[in-house]
């Protein structure tokens, strides 16, 4: 770390706002296919009764994310370097955690391929004169052009714009419901806060819990955004002094604020998608699947409010899908060079070579995603496959979070009993859902 970068955290609330940003990238990544499709389907199958599942899913898992963010700030090291220090077997130069992250993330190529296909389908619904394959190429090209130069500030600003876009369009769609026959009441919403969970929707509810809120990818990615924002550089290397500890606590609190505001955004949007499904689709004998669901809901808005409302819903759907792919490419182009360093394929500290790989991967991954979709063309199944992989990767994330928590406790950077309780509740919930999902799969 450069000692010249060290600075004390601002004390004014409004000055703190200038140092937010990683959470906006996180929100852009979180609100995607899971929220747009899986959450809506849960509302369609269960009605309002399981609304509490979505809220808890968004709120409870943030405790693990905070532990990763805190470790990124106080260690100043790339995450894969930290993963390589975890206890367990080593294969070559890297241990089980690095290899698991590398292999499991690579399996998620199917999921991102389904998401990029879903984005192209939505654009085709808005502009039907342009074929889906053309939209696929244009989306892939736009992603590479935005990411290949590796500018953090561009990624942050673009994510903020897209987060604003899908938030506004989604909330507008929800408000639009009150001018249709599908309007709902406060009593309907309150009925979903009774912690009732009908047996017939148990599996769907658990699936929605696993795919909404911060998942394994977002938790890992958050560490890169915290470091690129400058939090770790501002704290400086741990010299054991009280001034270092004060800086670490101060910048950690700003990271907490960043994560808290992000949680409000993605919880709000996810809840809106759920309520749309519960209000419009509950009780219907046939519920469309995958991207047919997007078109179906859009047509309902057309029937009720006119073609302009349909465009608004589809625009929100596109922002949600595209922002998630955009943030995923930005994250993958950082994760893989980090993994390559631990595997010994890139020399750690060779910034020129790392940037070269970021540029290569920014072009390579969209090409792979587009080709994958063109071969399979089943976006719903492709997206769900990523949920299975994410369930396994969450086990690695929780194991690392427990280690990071113990280390932060030694540095006296953990909070009180409430924080401890939330952390272990979050870990237990994630482990339970992941174990159940894997058991049901096999």
* CATH number, domain with residue 27: 1.10.4160.10
Please give the Cα distance from 148 to 150 (Å, whole number): 5
SS3 label, residue 63? helix
pLDDT band, very low/low/confident/very high, at 291 (cuts 50, 70, 90): low
Q: Does residue 1 carry a pLDDT above 60?
A: no
The more confidently predicted of residues 70 and 414 is 70
Q: Does residue 284 carry a pLDDT above 80?
A: no
Q: For 289-306, what is the mean pLDDT?
A: 70
Mean pLDDT of the residues in the chain: 86
pLDDT band, very low/low/confident/very high, at 224 (cuts 50, 70, 90): very high
- Please give the DSSP secondary-structure letter assigned to residue 130: S
| 437 Cβ contact partners less than 8 Å away, ≥ 6 residues apart | 206, 207, 210, 387, 388, 391
The more confidently predicted of residues 292 and 109 is 109
Lowest mean pLDDT among 167-176, 268-277, 408-417: 408-417
Per the CB < 8 A criterion, the answer to whether 26 and 222 are in contact is yes
Give 88: exposed, middle or buried? Use CB within 10 Å, 0-12, 13-18, 19+. Answer: exposed
Per the CB < 8 A criterion, the answer to whether 225 and 22 are in contact is yes
Strands 94-95 and 90-91: antiparallel
pLDDT band, very low/low/confident/very high, at 2 (cuts 50, 70, 90): low
Residue 297 pLDDT:
73
Paired with 90 in beta bridges are 95
Closest CA to 36 of 101, 124, 121: 121
Please give the Cα distance from 426 to 430 (Å, whole number): 6
Please give the Cα distance from 94 to 341 (Å, whole number): 9
| Segments forming the whole domain that contains residue 304 | 3-441
**Which of 43-47, 188-192, 419-423 is predicted most confidently?**
188-192
Q: Does residue 159 carry a pLDDT above 90?
A: no
SS3 label, residue 19? coil
pLDDT band, very low/low/confident/very high, at 307 (cuts 50, 70, 90): confident
Per the CB < 8 A criterion, the answer to whether 413 and 70 are in contact is yes
Please give the Cα distance from 256 to 235 (Å, whole number): 15
Residue 437 pLDDT:
61
Paired with 91 in beta bridges are 94
Domain count, the chain: 1
Length of the chain in residues, anyone? 442
SS3 label, residue 61? coil
């Amino acid at each position: 770390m450069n000692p010249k970068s060290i600075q004390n955290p601002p004390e004014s609330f409004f000055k703190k706002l200038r140092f937010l940003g990683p959470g906006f990238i996180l929100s852009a990544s979180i609100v995607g296919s899971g929220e747009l499709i899986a959450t809506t389907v849960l509302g369609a199958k269960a009605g309002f009764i399981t609304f509490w599942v979505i809220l808890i899913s968004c709120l409870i898992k943030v405790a693990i994310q905070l532990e990763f963010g805190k470790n990124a700030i106080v260690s100043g090291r790339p995450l894969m370097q930290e993963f390589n220090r975890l206890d367990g077997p080593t294969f070559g130069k890297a241990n089980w955690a690095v290899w698991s992250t590398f292999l499991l993330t690579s399996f998620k190529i199917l999921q991102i391929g389904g998401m990029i296909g879903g984005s192209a389908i939505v654009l085709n619904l808005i502009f039907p004169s342009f074929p889906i394959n053309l939209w696929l190429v244009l989306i892939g090209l736009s992603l590479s052009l935005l990411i290949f130069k590796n500018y953090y500030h561009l990624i942050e600003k673009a994510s903020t714009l897209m987060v604003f876009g899908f938030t506004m369009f989604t909330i507008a769609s929800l408000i639009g419901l009150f001018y249709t026959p599908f309007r709902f009441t406060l009593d309907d919403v309150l009925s979903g806060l009774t912690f009732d969970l009908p047996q017939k929707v148990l599996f769907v509810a658990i699936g929605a819990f696993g795919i909404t809120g911060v998942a394994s990818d977002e938790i890992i990615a958050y560490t890169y955004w915290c470091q690129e924002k400058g939090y770790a550089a501002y704290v400086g290397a741990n010299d054991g002094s009280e001034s270092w500890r004060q800086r670490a606590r101060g910048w950690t609190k700003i990271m907490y604020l960043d994560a808290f505001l992000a949680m409000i955004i993605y919880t709000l949007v996810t809840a809106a998608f759920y309520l749309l499904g519960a209000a419009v689709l509950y009780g219907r004998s046939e519920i469309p699947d995958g991207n047919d669901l997007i078109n179906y809901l859009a047509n309902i808005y057309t029937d009720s409010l006119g073609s302009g409302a349909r465009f608004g819903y589809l625009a929100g759907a596109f922002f949600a899908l595209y922002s998630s792919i955009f943030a995923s490419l930005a994250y993958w182009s950082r994760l893989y060079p980090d993994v390559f360093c631990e595997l010994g394929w890139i020399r750690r500290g060779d910034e020129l070579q790392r940037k070269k790989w970021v540029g290569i991967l920014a072009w390579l991954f969209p090409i792979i995603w587009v080709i994958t979709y063109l071969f399979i063309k089943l976006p719903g199944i492709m997206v769900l496959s990523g949920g299975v992989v994410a369930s396994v990767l969450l086990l690695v994330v929780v194991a690392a979070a427990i280690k990071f928590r113990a280390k932060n406790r030694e540095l006296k950077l953990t909070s009180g009993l409430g924080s401890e309780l939330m952390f272990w509740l979050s870990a237990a919930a994630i482990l339970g859902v992941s174990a159940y999902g894997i058991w049901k799969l096999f």
